Structure 1
Amino acid sequence: MSSCEINGYEELSQKFKDKLGLEKSPVAVKLVLNEDDIPGGIPKIEEKVRHCEMIQKASQGDIFYATAEEQACKGGAGAIGLMEPPEKVNSGEMYYSLGRFSSLGSAKRTVDAIPKIEPIMKAIAYSPLEKTPFDPDVVVIICNPQQAMQLAQAMVYTLGGRFEADFAGIQSICGDAVAGPYTTKRPNITLGCSGSRKFADIKSDEVIVGMNGENIGCIVNALEAL
């Protein structure tokens, strides 16, 4: 099989599940620049929850979109381009006040390094990959470390090299798993954060992998070859 000949998101999702033994669906994420581009037939989520919770919901079968108004975590909404991040997040003050850093300076340096999408998006659409009615910008997989290892092996299968994970234990599913792959076009593995483990029920034995949506066919092909 050539490097990127798989088509069909239902097939791709099933192959991810079969090859990795995933319990949850890969999640398709689309960043929407204009209201007119919101995929037709997708409802707006009715409750106000965090982006990480939305990823979890989609991994379990839900399809919906959300604007900044439906995002309960404004720091997360800022990372994925729906709004300017709150000043207390941008300055590092919030994380410093929570005791996460020894100084405001260390908090600020960390926050500055978190990937962020320019705040121009009107909405974010979420769907399990097998049901997605849109082409995803990013695909997020909640998995265990062994499954993440297999994904990393697949990502270096064709061109070689090393997989570089980039995280700091804060803003993981928003900054690390969505904004990072979207802005850099490179996949990332993140260990989650206190918020995603508390509110989105990311388990102690789970990690999160974010991938550019354009490359998932190649990754599935590599998984099959391996």
Structure 2
Amino acid sequence: MDISKLNDTISKAKCSLELKRKIVGMKFLFTEEEFKYADAKKLRAKSPYCVMVKTAMSGYSIKATLEDFGCLASARNLGILEADEIITSGRYHSKTGLYQDLITSRNVISNITMCKHKAYGIMLKPLEEYAENPDVVLIVSNPYNAMRIIQGYTYMYGTHSSFKMIGNNAICSECTAYPYESNDINVSLLCSGTRHMCGWGEDEMGIGIPFNKFSTVIDGLYATVNPIEPNEKKSIIESKLKEQRRDDLDIIYDKNYYTGLYLK
């Protein structure tokens, strides 16, 4: 995607959603040389991946290798560290109290998405800072915005019937590895670990979108403003459209699909 198209997509997202955190792009870096020249600052201290994501959502551009990961589960899920047998067998997680027995633990671990590659590192930065295409787009926001994004997806692609969530491995697997491996959107209710580490609000949840679908999803979001949004939100969106100097969406008040005004 060229820069002008990306900027246009971000502008549409900002007009259509009320986001308090930046939309972030995540890119895998597969070689030491690629990592060296990636346009971001290397972390100076170990950090969980979800904290890295939150840092990028605050406006910072960062990159990390295995030595920078303060959470090895995320390194495994992102394909930076290979999972050993104690992990894949379910034995490690069966001792945490998260699952009732070894068989359940093994089932959960076998279904957690881990990237099927060996990456050297990752880069995370606000989406508008990218000059090249990232791999996955990450959004943390409230359920209303998550609903709107899914409505935009459905407008373009129809029903998505393969959401994956377990309430664990939220930002690393559910929001990053799974969208990357499945080439499709996913929603996460987040997990206790990332809520503790990052201090996300209780009203926040995560969305991961493959970058190659992001523009289309936002186009769907933009196209559904009039049939879905109530007047008070339309007023806010209209003000944002003026701020962004956009004239490609005419706001229609007093009409949306659930009032029946479109059905005549």
Q: TM-score, normalised by structure 2?
A: 0.79
Q: After TM superposition, which residue ranges in structure 1, 4 or more long, deviate above 6 angstroms? A: none
Q: SS of the counterpart of 1:65?
A: strand
* Alignment-mate amino acid for residue 147 of structure 1: N
**Computing the radius of gyration over CA atoms, which structure comes out larger, 1 or 2?**
2
* Structure 1 residue runs without a partner (length 5+): none
1:26 matched residue in structure 2: 23
Instruction: Tell whether the 8 Å contact from 2:137 to 2:208 is kept in structure 1 after alignment.
Output: yes
Given candidates 117, 134, 137, the residue that maps to 2:135 is 137
Cα-Cα RMSD: 1.9
* Structure 2 residue runs without a partner (length 5+): 225-264
Given candidates 211, 214, 234, the residue that maps to 1:213 is 211
Q: SS of the counterpart of 1:21?
A: coil
Higher mean displacement: 110-119 or 62-71: 110-119
In the comparison of the two structures, how many residue pairs are matched?
A: 223
Given candidates 157, 174, 177, the residue that maps to 2:175 is 177
* Alignment-mate amino acid for residue 13 of structure 1: I
Structure 1 CA distance for aligned equivalents of residues 192 and 91 of structure 2: 17
Higher mean displacement: 49-58 or 8-17: 8-17
* Alignment-mate amino acid for residue 186 of structure 2: N
Q: SS of the counterpart of 1:158?
A: helix
Which of structures 1 and 2 has the larger relative contact order (alpha carbons within 8 angstroms, sep 6+)? 1
Given candidates 51, 73, 76, the residue that maps to 2:74 is 76
Q: SS of the counterpart of 2:41?
A: coil
Higher mean displacement: 114-123 or 71-80: 114-123
Q: Please list, as runs of the form range in 1=range in 2, the aligned pairs for 1:1-226 lying within 5 A after superposition.
A: 7-38=4-35, 39-226=37-224
2:240 matched residue in structure 1: none
Residue deviations 1:80-117 (CA, integer Å, cap 9, x gap) = 01111354433323332221111011011101101111
Q: SS of the counterpart of 1:105?
A: helix
Percent identity, please.
27
* Alignment-mate amino acid for residue 22 of structure 1: L
* Alignment-mate amino acid for residue 165 of structure 2: F
Greater fraction of residues in helix = 2
Structure 1 CA distance for aligned equivalents of residues 52 and 33 of structure 2: 22
Instruction: Tell whether the 8 Å contact from 1:13 to 1:25 is kept in structure 2 after alignment.
Output: no
Structure 1 CA distance for aligned equivalents of residues 87 and 200 of structure 2: 22
